[in-house]
């Protein structure tokens, strides 16, 4: 049964102490999840949250949900979206970064490659685009607008705590779950 207390956020220490009684949902991309996740976490990328809503509603009826991402930003977004649908969930304050900083274990799927974290992918893409804009700007000054556009996007991202580039990169094949993986996760959750 779900506890009578509605959760909103747990620190890494609180989550570690209660891990045995929580259902952990990791909303990062499959690549990020494969790089290391909380023990027992189920991967449901943020952009698949709506499809997983029936399963998450069932799980929340049995116990408390803890939603996790790298820093806590995506998991907070997921918790807000779930709350709008009447599904209570807590976010892990500081995400897996805070979890690992305290020395808590993470698990990796057997044989999983070590993909880059989304933040690193964004830095590579943004840096490459800025550099391309500056280099192309040597021949065509209008190409510098590419660098200016990326810089403006980064400022907007920081001010709004959102990242359009991460949303685009999350759609790349290595960052998407196979339909069978997501289906298996949803079946496992409802058992």
Which are the catalytic amino acids?
69
What tokens does 179 get? 């339909």
Q: Cβ contacts of residue 12 below 8 Å, gap of 6+? A: 92, 93, 94, 98, 99, 101, 102, 104
DSSP class of residue 28 equals S
Q: Tell me how far apart the alpha carbons of residues 184 and 168 are, in angstroms, rounded to a whole number.
A: 25
State residue 165 phi and psi, 5-degree precision. -65, -40
Task: Look at phi and psi of residue 110 and say left if phi exceeds 0, alpha if psi is from -120 to 50, else beta.
Answer: beta
DSSP class of residue 144 equals H
């Amino acid at each position: 049964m779900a506890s009578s207390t509605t959760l909103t956020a747990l620190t890494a220490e609180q989550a570690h102490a209660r891990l045995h009684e929580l259902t952990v949902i990791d909303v990062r991309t499959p690549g990020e999840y494969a790089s290391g996740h909380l023990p027992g976490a189920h991967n449901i990328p943020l952009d698949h949250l709506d499809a997983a809503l029936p399963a998450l509603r069932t799980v929340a009826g049995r116990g408390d949900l803890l939603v996790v991402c790298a820093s806590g930003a995506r998991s907070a977004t997921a918790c807000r979206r779930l709350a709008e649908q009447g599904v209570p969930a807590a976010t892990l304050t500081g995400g897996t970064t805070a979890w690992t900083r305290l020395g808590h274990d993470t698990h990796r799927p057997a044989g999983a490659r070590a993909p880059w974290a989304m933040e690193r992918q964004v830095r590579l893409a943004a840096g490459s685009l800025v550099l391309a804009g500056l280099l192309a700007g040597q021949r065509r000054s209008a190409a510098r607008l590419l660098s200016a556009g990326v810089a403006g996007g980064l400022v907007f991202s920081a001010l709004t705590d959102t990242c359009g580039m991460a949303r685009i990169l999350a759609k790349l094949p290595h960052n998407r779950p196979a339909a069978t993986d997501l289906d298996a996760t949803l079946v496992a959750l409802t058992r």
